[in-house]
Every structure is written in structure tokens, then in C-alpha cells.
Amino acid sequence: MSAGDVLAVAEHRQGDLRDVSLELVSAGSALAGAEGGRLHVAVVSGDVDAYADELSVQGVDAIHTVAAGEEFNHDVYVAAVSALVDHLEPTHLLVPNTVDGMDYAPALAESLDRPIVTDAVEVDTDDDGLVVHREMYGSKVETTVAVDDGPFVVTIRPGEFSRAGGSSDPDVVAHDVDVDLDALGSTVEGYEAVETGDVDITEADFLISIGRGIDEEENLELVQDLAEATGGTVSASRPIVDNGWLDRGRQVGQSGKTVTPTVYLAIGISGAVQHVAGMKNADTIIAINTDPNAPIFDVADYGIVGDLFDVVPALIEQFD
């Protein structure tokens, strides 16, 4: 075991290194620094040399490349990262808590017989080992989870750590990992983008966005009246789209659209992290919610604690 060493696994898609990779470098270099270890970064599949260049930022001691296949495949990732873990024996293994991370980190942990803690928003160490901060109950409660004894696997929530920058000159080591690409149990056939529908919400100046608080499909009319009175565009959080009340093109959030309107009016939206990821960069954020502790108020510039069924009709009257 190389005490205090960290191995962070980078992520890329369709030829682009994803931002979360540099966030893992920040998280990983802080951990390695606290324990006098080294930060190793793994990059698997695709144009690994180009990704290694981009990952040569401050805090990175070594980059390990495994050129096998083009895009993400969990069998390849499990095989490649397992081989690197056997070779490097890091204490800490960091993986992005992304859709792809969720598709291989648990299998990796299971095959390495390491405990896994997912969706970390903060990572620390104390005398006993690793302490992970994570949220529960839709961000209403924060918890600290300690891992009895290392080594382990931690997945890191995107957007919580700064992106590492600067430049450095780490060792770049190419590894041959024996993966039979013809014998994989799952095969990626391609990608599809969700259709935008009749309106492009990313172009809107004023978004009136609704969430679970709207309760019933027929209450959508109220919000459409507000949109008509103000010239705003209606968008929504995930549950509204899952219910089929609005089309997928109207969904704001991690799995939907990222929007940056002048004003984002969130009505009856609690502000789950996946939603906030898609709207936090709006110029002005206004939230209407009955729950004064709703996380949406943490990102809001203006807040109204109140019942949307009282406030929205009164607001429509203001523009009649």
C-alpha cells in the first residue's frame, strides 16, 4: 500500500474531457497533500494522450493512460482501473459521481473489495481515516460518514470542488491492460440527443419554471396564464416532465438543459442539486416556495416564502 496516495479517474465523452475530471484533481490533491501522498490520475479509452495533456495541471504527480476503445464502457473501465489499483495500490480511489461513474464505481468497489461512499460534497481525513460529507433527504440534511479502515472508493459530486488549473509536467505512463473488446457483455450502439420540441428554453430571457409544488396537471394553466401576462417562457424541473405534463425539451437540470436567462423564476421547486446544476448561473433567481428551508433559497437572489396558489394569481393581476 502506498499510504496516502490518491488515484482519481478522469471522465470524457465524445472527444471532450469533462469538467468533473479537473474537480477530482482538486479534491484528490488536497487529500494527497494532507497525507503526504501522491496524486495519480487515470485516463481510460479515447485519445488518452490529448486528455493527458489537458490533465497536466497543478497537483497532478502522475498520469496513467489505458488506450482501449473510444467511448466509455464499464467493463473496460472496471478492468483498466482494477489493474491500475493493483499496480499503484492507492489508499484513496476517486471517481466522478456522474451517470458513467454510477455505472462502474460500485462494480469496481465490489471487485476490489473496498467500501464505497458515493456523492461526496467534501472529503477530509482524521486520525481514523477518511471522513466524507454527503447529503440526505434531498439536501435537507448533511451527514458525515467515516470509513472504518481504508482503502476505499469515493465518488465525488460534480460542481462541488473547484477545477484545478495551472500547468505541470507529470510523468505520463501508458499501461497495457488486457481487455477483450470483442467479449464485452454490453455494447454501446450510439448516442441520441433528446429533441428540443417547439421552444428552445436556453434562448429565453425570462423563464418561469415549475416543480412538484404545482400538484396537478390542470394547475399548469395558472402558470401558462402568468407566462402570457409577462411574456415569459415556461420550463420545469424533472418531476413535471416525468409525469408527461411538459415535453422533455422544457426540462432544466443535469439531465435536461442548462439555462442562463436574465431572470429565472422557480415556482414550487425545492431545488434538488440536479436541478440547481442547470440554472444556478441565471443572472437573477427568484424562488417561491412554502418550505422556508427549501434548498432553492440557497441559490436565490429573491425569495418568497408562500403558497404559489396565492402568489401567482396576485402576480398575474399585476400585469393585467
User: 174 or 194: whose CB is closer to another protein?
Assistant: 194
User: CA-to-CA distance for 312 and 300, rounded, in angstroms?
Assistant: 18
Rg (CA), the chain: 22
Per CB under 8 A, 102 contacts another protein: yes
Joined together, the cell numbers standing for residue 185 give 457483455
User: 29 or 118: whose CB is closer to another protein?
Assistant: 118
Q: Which stretch binds another protein (CB under 8 A): 43-51, 59-67, 94-102, 213-221?
A: 94-102
Place of cell 415556461: 234
User: 167 or 191: whose CB is closer to another protein?
Assistant: 191
Selected binder of another protein within 30, 104, 246, 259 (CB under 8 A)? 104
Quick note: the x/- pattern for another protein over 119-158, rule CB under 8 A, is x-----------x--xxxxxxxxxxxxxxxx---------
How far is residue 285 CA from its own chain's centroid?
Answer: 21
User: CA-to-CA distance for 294 and 212, rounded, in angstroms?
Assistant: 12
Per CB under 8 A, 305 contacts another protein: yes
With CA atoms as reference, report the closest residue to 110 among 146, 84, 78, 80. 78
Joined together, the cell numbers standing for residue 281 give 448561473
Q: Looking at this protein, which amino acid is placed at residue 263? A: V
Quick note: the x/- pattern for another protein over 41-80, rule CB under 8 A, is ---------------------------------x---x--
Residues 184 to 203 in contact with another protein, rule: CB under 8 A: 185-194
Count of residues that interact with another protein, criterion CB under 8 A: 96
User: CA-to-CA distance for 243 and 21, rounded, in angstroms?
Assistant: 33
Partner residues linked to 199 by β-bridges: none
User: 33 or 129: whose CB is closer to another protein?
Assistant: 129
With CA atoms as reference, report the closest residue to 24 among 167, 139, 161, 200. 161
With CA atoms as reference, report the closest residue to 213 among 85, 309, 91, 94. 309
Residues 238 to 297 in contact with another protein, rule: CB under 8 A: 238-239, 241-244, 248, 251, 254-258, 261-263, 265, 283-284, 286-287, 290-293, 297
Q: How far is the CB of 198 from another protein (least distance, A)?
A: 15
